[in-house]
Amino acid sequence: MAMEKAAWAIMVVVVLCAMAHVGEADEKELETASFVFGDSLVDSGNNNYLPTLSKADMRPNGIDFAASDGDPTGRFTNGRTIADIIGELLGQPDYAPPFLSPNTTGSAILNGVNYASGGAGILNGTGKIFVNRLGMDIQVDYFNITRQQLDDLLGKAKAKELLMKRSIFSITIGSNDFLNNYLLPVISATERARESPDAFIDSLITNLRSQLIRLYSLDARKVVVANVGPIGCIPYQKTINKVGEDECVGLPNQLALQYNARLRDLLAELNDNLPGAKFVLANVYDLVMDLLTNYQSHGFKQASHACCGNGGQYQGIIPCGPSSSMCDDRAAYVFWDPYHPSEASNVYLAKFIVDGDTNYVSPINLRQLMKL
């Protein structure tokens, strides 16, 4: 009898220890999560699963992405996106997987999900020249599906805790609304004149407000929104407008600045009116302008030409693909292709957004946001 009691006691201790370890594993799994929304600047492969003209699933895209041994992943750069790098800097154990991947199920969603899509915009009509893309409204629809899956996986209370306390929601969108909508060369000046810049930007802010409020209603609380960068300085715009090496195209940058001022006001409004929310502005415009102006002091050698592309003075017409010419020193180029930054640029930008001061990320940086 004494031996049976001893065996029973040992078994109880073993079970309790196992339960404790399971609890620890659960806590580790739920440390932080990253839910990524946006366009090709942060797409991690969603467009691989769409019949679309906006794809990066061919070499040499991804040539420096270590996790894939240099095979293309669908990221529109030579390596990691800015969202990947920010996740690493914040200690997230895995990259947020693309929502459309068949493997993004079960425990794979506990560290976050990426909904971003090349060609996407705030407006549903943006990017229609690519045939298919996931606009911001659809991305929020897809997050709603993930939200329900988290309830099923964790239970409602723990899912809410993960989303409200341990997750960062990042939104990088708006560039395509100008580049592949309002400023499209196929749109005539007469047609564009029917909608003033003020009216167009009003529609962007109105739609983005409803999208962000909807995310809040689905328990997003720590949200970082990137403003639109100096899109008049990308190789594509410089090439088609035939500007000089040290010049940028005026109108796209003017529109970006006008939109960015409205975005700052929108995020302040949401912080004042949505209890418990903290919306942070990532000032990508000024960050990129500083990089382009002082690229040599930041370790770069080329800030006008695309590393991978074809056509025109700045390799700025044809996107990166198997037939493109590619630079020898990818880390020396600010731009990977006619539209997107190189991994080296993404590393530079991510550090400021995670740990920078209020010139570049406000009212607090992402490391401070994560600790709230």
The answer to whether residue 340 is catalytic is yes
Please give the Cα distance from 221 to 159 (Å, whole number). Answer: 13
**Candidates 40, 167, 304, 345; catalytic one:** 40
**Candidates 43, 340, 342, 345; catalytic one:** 340
**Candidates 305, 337, 342, 345; catalytic one:** 337
Please give the Cα distance from 320 to 339 (Å, whole number). Answer: 10
Single-letter residue type at 228: V
Q: Can you tell me whether residue 304 is helix, strand or coil?
A: strand
Report in angstroms the alpha-carbon separations of 277 from 152, 221, 270, 304, 334: 24, 4, 8, 39, 34
Which structure tokens are listed for 93?
């154990």
Query: Concatenated DSSP letters for 63-109?
Result: TT-GGGTT---S-SSSS--HHHHHHHHTT-SSPPPBTTSTT--GGGG
Residues 6+ apart with CB under 8 A from 146: 35, 99, 109, 113
Please give the Cα distance from 84 to 34 (Å, whole number). Answer: 9
Burial 141-166 (b: 16+ CB within 10 A, else e): ebbeebbebbeeebeeeebbebbeee
The answer to whether residue 328 is catalytic is no
The answer to whether residue 21 is catalytic is no
Q: What is the DSSP letter of 332?
A: G
Report in angstroms the alpha-carbon separations of 97 from 42, 70, 87, 121: 11, 17, 12, 20
Active centre residues (catalytic): 40, 337, 340
